């Protein structure tokens, strides 16, 4: 069964901390995505990657960076966490034939105190 795995379901961090969210997919997909989901705002794209070491900004990249050193792993980094980054973070992947997110992880609910 295909799977996108996010390293943590729940995470609590403090303002100013550097936060790493990890995502691994086992489908050999080229494309990987990071979204955040907030009530009333839907899913908003933070960054996506269409190949190893390649990345492109989404709609709300400010305050975030990403790393894709291996095809199966896509990391989201909050450089200096702030309370307005409290949210549900969703990772997704897709094959090159379908650059829309096909498979999502179960999400990481991140709270910044």
Residue placing its CB nearer to other proteins in the complex, 17 or 59: 59
| Interface mask toward other proteins for 12-31; x: CB under 8 A | -------------------x
Q: Which is nearer to other proteins, 67 or 104 (CB)?
A: 104
Tell me whether strands 19-25 and 10-13 are parallel, antiparallel or unpaired: unpaired
- Residue 103 CA to residue 92 CA, distance in Å, equals 5
104 touches other proteins (CB under 8 A) = yes
- 37 is written with which tokens? 């989901």
Piece of 13-21, 70-78, 79-87, 102-110 that binds other proteins (CB under 8 A): 102-110
81 vs 68: CA distance, rounded Å: 20
């Amino acid at each position: 069964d295909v799977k996108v795995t996010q390293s943590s379901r729940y995470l609590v961090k403090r303002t100013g901390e550097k936060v790493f969210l990890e995502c691994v997919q086992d489908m050999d997909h080229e494309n990987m995505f990071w979204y955040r989901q907030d009530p009333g705002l839907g899913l908003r794209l933070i960054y996506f990657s269409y190949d190893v070491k390649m990345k492109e900004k989404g709609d709300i990249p400010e305050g975030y960076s990403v790393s894709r050193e291996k095809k199966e792993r896509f990391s989201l980094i909050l450089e200096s966490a702030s309370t307005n980054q409290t949210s549900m973070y969703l990772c997704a992947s897709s094959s090159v034939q379908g650059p829309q997110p096909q498979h999502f992880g179960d999400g990481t609910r991140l709270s910044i105190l």
